[in-house]
Amino acid sequence: MAQILIVEDNALNLKLMKDILEMQSYSVDTAADGQEGLDKAMENDYSLIILDIQMPVISGYDFLCTYDKKCPVIVVSACAMENEINKAKELGCVDYISKPIQITEFLNTVKKYLP
């Protein structure tokens, strides 16, 4: 079964994404800030990471710079400007979804990167 880590500081967005994925029978772990997410990502074997950019402690960009890319990272962020998307992709994310998320787009993107 795919194990997914969601790194998101907004509690409502975190719950929404977690609930959507769990309804699809995915196993989901969460982190409320970038450092907690990075620690979990380094300690565990995830199939996929879903990452916000604007977070406390360390940003999603800092996460991407530090993470060793053991699994694909999808950025889900309110920053929808082209330069922000390009920066995230240059730092290693495989895809970028703009908030507010559309459930079908979110699930299709997640499924694209899972075995």
- pLDDT band for position 79 (cuts 50, 70, 90): confident
Q: What does the mean pLDDT of the chain come to?
A: 95
DSSP string spanning 82-106?
A: HHHHHHHHHTT-SEEEESSPPHHHH
- Only one residue has tokens 């360390």, namely 58
Mean pLDDT of the region 11-40: 97
Q: Give the count of beta carbons closer than 10 Å to the beta carbon of residue 83.
A: 8
Q: What is the pLDDT of residue 63?
A: 97
- pLDDT band for position 64 (cuts 50, 70, 90): very high
CATH architecture of 3-112: 3-Layer(aba) Sandwich (3.40)
- Exposure string for 3-39, b = 16+ CB within 10 A, e = fewer: ebbbbbbeeebbebbbebbeeeebebbbbbbbbbbbe
3-state secondary structure of 15: helix
105 pLDDT exceeds 80?
Answer: yes
- pLDDT band for position 8 (cuts 50, 70, 90): very high
Q: What is the pLDDT of residue 109?
A: 98
Beta carbons within 8 Å of 102's beta carbon, 6+ residues apart: none
Distance CA 77, CA 60 (A): 9
Enter the pTM of the model: 0.96
Q: pLDDT, tens digit, for every residue of 35-59?
A: 999 999 999 999 999 999 999 999 9
